[in-house]
Structure 1
Amino acid sequence: MTLFRRLEERHPLHGRLALGVEYDGSAYCGWQRLKHSPSVQAEVEKALARVAGQPVTVHCSGRTDSGVHATRQIVHFDPPVPRSEKAWVFGANANLPRDIAVRWVHEVPDDFHARFKALARRYRYVILNQPSRPVLERANATWCRDPLDADAMHRAAQVLVGEHDFSSFRAAGCQSKTPWRHLHFIEVHRHGPMVVVDVQGNAFLHHMIRNIAGALVTVGRGERGDGYLAELMVLKDRTLSDVTAPACGLHFVDSLYDDVWGLPREPLGPNLLAFLGEWTGERPLPDCPMVAFRRGRPKAISNIE
């Protein structure tokens, strides 16, 4: 997908549509629509309804928590009326607040589902590691004034790769039926003053990545050794684990699907990390049961949601 192309404006799109949505989650209580608080979902649905002239309901690839950002949130909806590609993108963006934007729209078959057809989700947690507090990055990076050893953090994190019980990193209010998740990879790298935790898995528990990030910062400060996260995993008790890292550093950067759906490929965010040059879908997915199942090649599956 080229970053610059003319949007089609003459031919209406028909059937189910997928959208790529980017948002700054600072002002919202997460993705999911709520009666008592502002949500990203409510703003997106309201904007699409203005374009359609009728109510619209969207379904997302993965819900994000309060204050968490996204650069590639995938949603789908069944439009009540046909509109062109340009009408959906430009019309939605004209009616969205400045902290939410539709990046693209794409026709998909009726059996596509943003959540249930997703093969993996990927997040990046960004830590600005410098003595002075951040100014321009204050809303999209977590600040740590103490020197962090990114190599030690990376080594400590490798125990999490694979399918495990992540009870020690699960929020008390998590509604998932199982604490088991499959992490495809987790990497910690330093890029100048930025330390980035890059993690991909089949799905994530409530606050799971922020709880992992909090424990990794403890390792990075030198307060605990490389085996710290392994020790926490064995406990299977969130009350005995580490702090929860702030939401502002967490970015939902990718939701991966089988190539058969033809969704656009684009650079991974956030733009702070554009210099890394990685695009969505570049890394091969593991040959695990959930990936095979959702690609239509079933294997015996367990402990997946």
Structure 2
Amino acid sequence: MKKRVKLIVAYDGTAYHGWQVQPNAVTVEGVLNEKLTGLLGEEITVTGASRTDAGVHSLGNVAVFDTETRIPADKISYALNQRLPEDIVVQDSAEVPADFHPRFTDSRKTYEYRILNRRFPIPTLRHDTYFYYRPLDVEAMKEAAGYLVGEHDFKSFCTVGAQVETTVRTIYDLTVTKEENVIKIRVTGNGFLYNMVRILAGTLISVGIHEREPEDMTRVLAACDRTAAGPTAPACGLTMVGISYETKKQ
């Protein structure tokens, strides 16, 4: 009898061409499919909640798969981690209802973008933190972030050509904090457009160096034009923190 198993997956995305399976490229999804197929002795294809880009990291991406294995769902994580490379670790495995879908179930996703803001890089932070040497005005970035909270059309913050039904999204929380030399941009929303968080980060950085004023965010949103926003910040600074689902749907 088939059952649906949910995985919470953490990974360092440095060595991968993103989440989604691609021909002739090593991806997180591809590795999971391969190792699960070997472990369970049946062809396994996982479905992920977030198709993170090349170089993007995760502390809690969610994936599901269907299996006929007799191994208890909560034990699969232990067995799978024995087969996975050290830069992918399943944090939890659990059985979920057969109709649970990680992308189409109401959820809140949280991402964090980290910036090392100092004169010189720190080698140990190079994989998960974007080094930026120009001094950033964190207070201005905080003020700008406030304009982006709420339901808006985020077309200006989406890579041109992305195939989506609507570019309207809701940001529930967007904070900018600094601890020593590391600035953290943390955002929680009901969903994100292609490269949206990295464009948000790049735009806030442009505010931080006073290339634009915090109140310009209103104009950027209204423009619905990618060229109105700032650059796309590098992938290495972005980490998916986690996803919370509506309890009643699980």
Counterpart-to-counterpart distance in 2, 1:115 and 1:236: 25
Deviation at 1:174, TM superposition (A): 1.3
Give the aligned residue type for 1:165.
Answer: D
- Tell me what 1:250 maps to: 238
Unaligned runs of 5+ in 2: none
User: Counterpart of 1:173 in 2: which secondary structure?
Assistant: coil
Give the RMSD, CA atoms, in angstroms: 1.7
Give the aligned residue type for 2:189.
Answer: G
Contact 1:56 1:80 in 2 (8 A): no
Q: Percent identity?
A: 36
Q: Of the two structures, which has the highest relative contact order with CA contacts closer than 8 Å and spacing of 6 or more?
A: 2
Counterpart-to-counterpart distance in 2, 1:151 and 1:239: 24
Counterpart-to-counterpart distance in 1, 2:215 and 2:145: 9
Deviation at 1:161, TM superposition (A): 1.1
- Tell me what 1:120 maps to: 108
The answer to whether residue 20 in structure 2 is matched with residue 25 in structure 1 is no
Q: Match for 1:59 among 38, 47, 65?
A: 47
TM-score normalised by length of structure 1? 0.78
Contact 2:8 2:60 in 1 (8 A): yes
Gap change, CA 1:105 and 1:14, over 3 Å in 2: farther
Larger strand proportion of the pair: 2
Aligned length: 250
Gap change, CA 1:261 and 1:167, over 3 Å in 2: closer
Counterpart-to-counterpart distance in 2, 1:80 and 1:15: 6
Q: Match for 2:201 among 206, 213, 217?
A: 213
**Aligned runs of 1:72-91 on 2, under 5 Å?**
72-85=60-73, 87-91=75-79
The answer to whether residue 119 in structure 2 is matched with residue 168 in structure 1 is no
Contact 1:124 1:197 in 2 (8 A): yes
Gap change, CA 1:109 and 1:85, over 3 Å in 2: closer
Counterpart-to-counterpart distance in 1, 2:6 and 2:74: 14
Gap change, CA 1:103 and 1:14, over 3 Å in 2: farther
Counterpart-to-counterpart distance in 2, 1:241 and 1:162: 18
User: Counterpart of 2:36 in 1: which secondary structure?
Assistant: helix
Gap change, CA 1:118 and 1:69, over 3 Å in 2: farther
Counterpart-to-counterpart distance in 2, 1:216 and 1:194: 15
Displacement over 3 Å in runs of 4+ = 84-87
- Tell me what 2:133 maps to: 145
